[in-house]
């Protein structure tokens, strides 16, 4: 595994940085601060911009019609970066006001996969959702305290999803109708830290960020451990591949849960980092217009 040492590109100080998303059109990476209720954008040339969100914001994904969609605490919203406005697309889990959304991504078919979780991190009230191209919302898996991850293999046949408290990343078969089957463990984290967000590269390898573990681990598609990238802070939350060649990794971090003494030892906790890697990533896909209507 060949990777350079992570470099801080923005000491933004996110309480719970998450969901980096490469935007080729603006040559920038968007990401969120869930607890800080912010959407951030960092450009390759160093441009920085932030927008306040009206609720906790779990993820940001591109829309096929332009702009972005975000998972706020009570549903999916269209986000306009020009005005900073958030417009409701659809409510989700209104009957579970103590839940929030935590992570999401769009597959090659334009379907959105995203997870919910208990905001207090105690009850197994979370679920993994799929929003299909025609706007049908379904629960693909359930009974999670903290959901994380979802990511998919390059051929679209395998979906990866994390049960963070169980320290296990699961793999599922993606069936012809878009539903999931064959749930089984893909990777169990034996060392320090809990598996958080992840991304899959063009070789089919899975990169897993470790909250409390101070590193990102890389696994082959068969589940073999390939190596890790160490960070100067404990809570690494998610990564995305960007740059013109998709070989620049952007990674979010968090200071959530750290004591005052730990934060003093980790002044870059909550920063956005980047490093170069030999294996390119996969370009992000936009959410289908039908799904977002």
H or E element at residue 276: strand 272-276
Report phi then psi at 265, rounded to 5: -80, -20
Using DSSP's 3-state secondary structure scheme, residue 231 falls into coil
Q: Does the active-site annotation cover 196?
A: yes
Burial of 94 (0-12, 13-18, 19+ CB in 10 A): exposed
Check: CB of residue 158 under 8 Å from CB of residue 173. Answer: yes
Q: What share of the chain is helix, strand, coil (3-state, %, to 5)?
A: 5, 55, 45
Residue 192 DSSP label: S
Using DSSP's 3-state secondary structure scheme, residue 6 falls into coil
* Marked catalytic residue, from 23, 33, 103, 196: 196
Using DSSP's 3-state secondary structure scheme, residue 212 falls into coil
State whether the Cα torsion 191-192-193-194 is positive or negative: positive
For residues 197 and 169, what is the distance between their CA atoms, to the nearest angstrom? 10
For residues 179 and 130, what is the distance between their CA atoms, to the nearest angstrom? 8
In sequence order, the β-bridge partners of residue 106 are 112
Catalytic annotation, residues = 196
């Amino acid at each position: 595994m060949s990777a350079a040492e992570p470099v801080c590109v923005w000491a933004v100080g996110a309480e719970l940085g998450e969901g980096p998303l490469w935007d080729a059109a603006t040559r920038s990476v968007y990401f969120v601060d869930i607890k800080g209720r912010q959407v951030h954008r960092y450009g390759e040339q160093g441009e920085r911009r932030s927008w306040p969100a009206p609720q906790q914001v779990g993820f940001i994904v591109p829309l096929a019609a332009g702009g972005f969609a975000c998972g706020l605490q009570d549903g999916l919203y269209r986000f306009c970066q020009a005005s900073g406005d958030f417009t409701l697309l659809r409510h989700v889990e209104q009957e579970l006001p103590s839940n929030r959304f935590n992570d999401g991504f769009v597959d090659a078919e334009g379907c959105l996969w995203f997870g919910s979780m208990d905001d207090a991190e105690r009850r197994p009230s979370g679920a993994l959702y799929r929003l299909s191209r025609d706007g049908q919302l379904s629960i693909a898996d359930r009974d999670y305290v903290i959901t994380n991850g979802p990511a998919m293999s390059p051929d679209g046949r395998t979906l990866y999803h994390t049960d963070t408290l169980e320290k296990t990343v699961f793999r599922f078969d993606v069936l012809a109708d878009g539903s999931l089957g064959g749930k089984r463990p893909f990777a169990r984290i034996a060392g320090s830290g809990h598996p958080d967000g992840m991304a899959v590269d063009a070789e089919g390898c899975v990169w897993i960020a470790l909250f409390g573990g101070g590193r990102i681990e890389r696994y082959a598609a068969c589940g073999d451990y390939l190596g890790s990238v160490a960070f100067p802070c404990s809570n690494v939350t998610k990564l995305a591949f960007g740059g013109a060649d998709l070989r620049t990794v952007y990674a979010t971090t968090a200071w959530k849960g750290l004591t005052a003494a730990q934060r003093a030892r980790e002044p870059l906790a909550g920063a956005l980092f980047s490093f170069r890697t030999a294996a390119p990533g996969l370009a992000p896909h936009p959410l289908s217009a039908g799904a977002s209507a």
